[in-house]
Amino acid sequence: MTHGLTDAQFYEMVASFLGPFYVALAVMNGLAALYIWRTGQTRGWFSVPLPLVGKKIQITNAQIWLLVATVFAILGALAWSAGSAVAALSLPSLWRETINKSTGPVIYSVGTTLGLIVLYFFRSFFVRPAVAWWIWNLMWLFLGLSMTDRDFYEIVAKPDNVPIVMLVFLLAFFTWLGTSQAVENDRRAERGEPPREKVNDEKVLVWPDLVYTELICMIALTAFLIFWAIALQAPLEEPASSVKTPNPSKAPWYFLGLQEMLVYYDPWMAGVVLPSLIVAGLMAIPYIDFNKKGNGYYTIKDRKFSYAVFQFGFLEMWVTLIVLGTLLRGPNWNFFGPYEYWDAHKVEALNNVNLSEAIWNKLFNMSLPGTPALENWPVLLRPFGQFLGLLFGRELPGTLLVLGYFIALPPVMALTVFRKFYSRMGFIRFMVMANLLLFMAALPIKMVLRWVFNLKYLIAIPEYFFNF
C-alpha cells in the first residue's frame, strides 16, 4: 500500500488521516468536560498551591479533560501541518523495539491472560468512569502515535483490517459497559438492594417503542455501511489461481482465531471437530447451567464460574487470537512484531517433533516401532488392526496422555475442584461440561507445548490421517 512512496509522501498520506483523527479526539474530550460540567459532576481531583498568592487552586476533572482536549487539538494541528512534524508524533523507537520484542507468542499469550486476570480482580477499579476514560484516551493515542510507523500502517490501514481495529475499541467499550453494571449490581446486592434492572422494570411497548428504536438503528447502520463502502475500497486482489497462494494468506478477520487453531492441530481436528464442539458447547450452555441467579440483570459475583469461562473463551481465545492473527502474523505465517518489517525471508527454525519421536528416539535411543504387518489378518480388517497397533504401539505415550486427559481428569475434577458442581449437576451433565471445558483448554495447552517444546503432535498417525 505504501510501496514506492517516499517518506515525505507517506507522512503526507498519514497526516490527512491523523489531523481529523486528533481533532475528533479533542472534540470527544471537550464534550466529556462539557457534560461533566453541565450535569454537575465536577469533582476536585487535587489542589495546586500558588505560592505567590498564598492560595490553593482546586483542579477539577472537567478542567483536566479540557486540558486533554487541548493537547489533542495541538496534536491535530501538528499532524495537519504534515512534514517532519508528523514524524515527531510517533512512539519513540526504543518503545517500538521493546513492543516488537515482547510480542512473541509466549509473552503475548501469557501477557493477555495475565491482563485479563488483573482486569477481573481489579474490576471495581477499572470500571470507574474516570479510569475507563483514561484508558480509552490512551488506546486512541496509542493508535494515533503508531500510525506514523510504516509497517504498522500497512497492517492497520488495510481495508480488511479496519473492522478489527473497530472490534478492539467496540469490545473495550461494551466490556466496560457490561462490567460496570455488573459491579454496580454486585454492590447493590451487598447492601441488600435489588439489582438496577429490577428497580426500573417499567414495561415498554413493542409498538411503537421497540419498533421505532429498531428502525432508527437499521437506518443508521445502513447509512454507516454505505459510507464505509464508499470510503474504503474493496481489497481486491489478482484473479485467484489454484497454484498461487498469497503470502501471508489470511482468513477473513472473524476466522483468524480458527486459522490460528489450525496451526496447532490437524485439519480435521481444528477445522471440523473443535469448531463443531464450539457450536455444540454454546448450544449446551442452557442445559449445563444450574445457577438460577443472574437472570435478567448484570452480575459477576452471582455467576463467577460462567463469567470467567465465557470471558476466557471469548476474549482470550477468540478476540486476542484475532488480534494476534492480524497484527503479529506475517509472511510464511511467522511471528512479527507490530512495528516489524514483513520480511518474507525471515528465518525461524521451528524443528517440530512428535511426542513419539521424542520418546522413542531421544529418551530410549531407539528407532520408532513400525507398523504391524498383520499378514494373516483378513484384508478388510487389516487397516483397523494396523491403526490400533500404531495407536497402542508407536504412539502409546501420546495415547495414554490423551486418554488420561479426557477420561481420568473429569472424575478427578469431580472429586476435587468441582465437587459442588458434581453434586448439583449429576453424572451426565457434569461429564459433558467437564469434557467441553477440557476441549477448550486443549487449545492453549497445545499452543504452549508447541512454543515451549516444539511439540508437533501427541498422537501422530499420518498413515490413517489421525493426529492429535
Partner 1 sequence: MADKKRMSVEEMLAAARKADGGSQTPDSTDAAPADPPPVDSTPAAESAPAKPVPAKSASGGRPSVAEMLAMARAEKSGGAVPAEKKPSPGKSSSGKDAAKPAAKKTVAATSAEPRDTASILAAARKASKAGPMSKAEAAAKSKADPAAKAKKIVVPPLPEKPAYARLQPSVPKAKAKGAADEERRTFLGIGFWSLGAVSALWAFATLKFMFPNVRREPPSKFKVGFPDSFPAGQVQTKFKAQFGVWISNAEYNGQRQLYALKSVCTHLGCTPSWLEAEQKFKCPCHGSGFYKDGINFEGPAPRPLERCAIRIADDGQIEIDKSRTFQEEMGQWEDAACYIPV
Q: Which of 281, 323, 457, 458 binds partner 1 (CB under 8 A)?
A: 457
Report the residue number, 96 or 456, with the smaller CB distance to partner 1: 456
**Which candidate, 184, 180, 185, places its Cα nearest to that of 195?**
185
Specify the DSSP element, H or E, that contains 56.
Answer: strand 55-60
Q: Which of 271, 385, 389, 444 binds partner 1 (CB under 8 A)?
A: 271
Under the criterion CB under 8 A, does residue 201 sit at the interface with partner 1?
yes
Q: How far is CA 239 from the centre of its chain?
A: 32
Sole window of 181-189, 195-203, 211-219, 414-422 interacting with partner 1 (rule: CB under 8 A): 195-203
Q: Which of 191, 203, 292, 420 binds partner 1 (CB under 8 A)?
A: 203
Long-range contacts (CB closer than 8 Å, 24 or more residues apart) made by 162-169: 162/232, 163/253, 164/253, 164/322, 164/323, 164/326, 167/253, 167/319, 167/322, 168/139, 168/319, 168/323, 169/139, 169/140
Backbone angles phi, psi at 458, to 5 degrees: -75, -45
Under the criterion CB under 8 A, does residue 456 sit at the interface with partner 1?
yes
- State the minimum distance, in angstroms, from the CB of residue 307 to partner 1: 25
Under the criterion CB under 8 A, does residue 463 sit at the interface with partner 1?
yes
Under the criterion CB under 8 A, does residue 202 sit at the interface with partner 1?
yes
Sole window of 75-83, 84-92, 343-351, 423-431 interacting with partner 1 (rule: CB under 8 A): 343-351
Under the criterion CB under 8 A, does residue 264 sit at the interface with partner 1?
yes
| Positions 283 through 342 that interact with partner 1 (CB under 8 A) | 331-334
Under the criterion CB under 8 A, does residue 274 sit at the interface with partner 1?
no
- State the minimum distance, in angstroms, from the CB of residue 349 to partner 1: 8
Under the criterion CB under 8 A, does residue 263 sit at the interface with partner 1?
yes
User: b/e per residue, 5-32, with b = 16+ CB within 10 A?
Assistant: eeeeebbebbbeebbebbbebbebbbeb
Under the criterion CB under 8 A, does residue 1 sit at the interface with partner 1?
no
User: What is the number of alpha carbons within 13 Å of residue 328 lying toward its C-beta?
Assistant: 21
Residue 401 is placed in which grid cell?
496422555
Sole window of 198-206, 211-219, 223-231, 431-439 interacting with partner 1 (rule: CB under 8 A): 198-206
- State the minimum distance, in angstroms, from the CB of residue 116 to partner 1: 26
Q: Which of 72, 126, 265, 339 binds partner 1 (CB under 8 A)?
A: 265
- State the minimum distance, in angstroms, from the CB of residue 26 to partner 1: 28
Report the residue number, 299 or 386, with the smaller CB distance to partner 1: 386
**Which candidate, 239, 199, 282, 268, places its Cα nearest to that of 467?**
268
Under the criterion CB under 8 A, does residue 273 sit at the interface with partner 1?
no
Sole window of 18-26, 197-205, 222-230, 297-305 interacting with partner 1 (rule: CB under 8 A): 197-205
Helix %, strand %, coil % for the chain, to 5?
A: 65, 5, 30
Number of neighbouring beta carbons within 10 Å of residue 384: 12
User: b/e per residue, 285-301, with b = 16+ CB within 10 A?
Assistant: eeebeeeeebeebbbbe
C-alpha–C-alpha distance, residues 299 and 195, integer Å: 9
Sole window of 16-24, 57-65, 194-202, 309-317 interacting with partner 1 (rule: CB under 8 A): 194-202
Number of neighbouring beta carbons within 10 Å of residue 92: 9
The β-bridge partners of 353 are 455
C-alpha–C-alpha distance, residues 379 and 4, integer Å: 63
**Which candidate, 455, 432, 443, places its Cα nearest to that of 270?**
443
C-alpha–C-alpha distance, residues 328 and 334, integer Å: 8
Report the residue number, 146 or 467, with the smaller CB distance to partner 1: 467
Sole window of 1-9, 50-58, 350-358, 377-385 interacting with partner 1 (rule: CB under 8 A): 350-358
Report the residue number, 9 or 41, with the smaller CB distance to partner 1: 41
Binding map of partner 1 across residues 230-259, x = CB under 8 A, - = no contact? -----------xxxxxxxxx---------x
User: What is the number of alpha carbons within 13 Å of residue 340 lying toward its C-beta?
Assistant: 22
Q: Which of 32, 164, 355, 460 binds partner 1 (CB under 8 A)?
A: 460
Under the criterion CB under 8 A, does residue 72 sit at the interface with partner 1?
no
Residue 155 is placed in which grid cell?
497492517
Please report, as ranges, the residues that interact with partner 1 according to CB under 8 A: 199-203, 205, 241-249, 259, 262-267, 271, 331-334, 344-345, 347, 349-352, 456-457, 460, 462-463, 465, 467
